[in-house]
Amino acid sequence: MILGAAPGLYMGQFTQIGGESGRWKDYLAVPPLQGPDGTQVAAMSPFFTTSGKLVITNHSKNPEVAFRWADAFYNYEVFMRQKYGIEGVDWKKPEANLKGINGEPAVWQALIPYHAAVQNRFWDQTAPILETSEFRLGQAVLDPANDFEGILYTETQKYEPHAPDISSVVPQLFFTEEQANQLADLKKSISDYANQMFARFITGDADIGSEWDKPAAAAFLRQNPDVLIRNLSLSSCD
């Protein structure tokens, strides 16, 4: 069976990158939906953070040594070794005239494909890292049409021009215990209602113009829009 379309952050969520069929290269991003007046907005999450890369507990006998060890990961040589592997085996300095993912002169060149066999020489993105966009996009691309990272970068251009101004994006919110309890009670009913109506509108089982406002949940949200905003913010953090 060949999948026609699927939701996901990239095609690797429903295909095998580098698979023998080569079908993973056939899946491209669908541009943001455009409204009748030409409005076209892409979703954006500028406040995304990660945690848990490294923890120094109160049981550490030499916390200062552990801190220096962690700090060393931001050294260029250590960073390249732990994320990309051994120079000359997994990566090398780029050949002359090679371009990076962003079209600028390449900064480094991978020797092992992203989808290569399992290895035990480097940690990929497990350890603390500091990798700027300029450096990441400086990876050499030999064949843009068949390069995984090159395809992702190209498809991203369908969205970047339509990203909303960051001032209009609701940031992650923090709640009091009372507010958190209220959200916990409302979250499931609101999410279930939204998902149900979303499916009905898509399949034509319900008319968005006449049926969206009927249920009690919709009336409550119209009267309490702050509850909806908090619920959506909380959902985006899950």
Give the pLDDT confidence of 9-20 residue by residue, as tens digits: 888 888 888 888
Please check the confidence at residue 2 and state whether its pLDDT lies above 80. no
For residues 92 and 109, the answer to whether their CB atoms sit within 8 Å is yes
Q: Angle CA(49)–CA(47)–CA(197) in degrees, nearest 5?
A: 110
Model pLDDT, residue 191: 80
Query: Which DSSP category does 122 fall into?
Result: -
Q: Which amino acid is at 149?
A: E
Least confident segment among 48-52, 152-156, 177-181, 228-232: 228-232
C-alpha–C-alpha distance, residues 85 and 96, integer Å: 22
For residues 94 and 107, the answer to whether their CB atoms sit within 8 Å is yes
Please check the confidence at residue 182 and state whether its pLDDT lies above 60. yes
Percent of all residues in the chain with a pLDDT value above 90, rounded to a whole number? 37
For residue 115, give every residue at least 6 positions away whose Cβ sits within 8 Å of its Cβ, in sequence order, or none.
16, 17, 18, 19, 148
Rg (CA), the chain: 23
Q: How confident is the model at residue 83 (pLDDT cuts 50, 70, 90)?
A: very high
- DSSP secondary structure letters along 174-216: ---HHHHHHHHHHHHHHHHHHHHHHHHHHHTSS-HHHHTT-SH
Model pLDDT, residue 236: 46
Q: Which amino acid is at 13?
A: Q
Closest CA to 81 of 116, 141, 121, 132: 121
Mean pLDDT of the chain: 84
Question: pLDDT tens digits, residue range 26-66?
Answer: 888 999 989 999 999 998 888 876 666 788 999 999 999 99
For residues 163 and 42, the answer to whether their CB atoms sit within 8 Å is yes
Beta partners for residue 110, in sequence order: 91
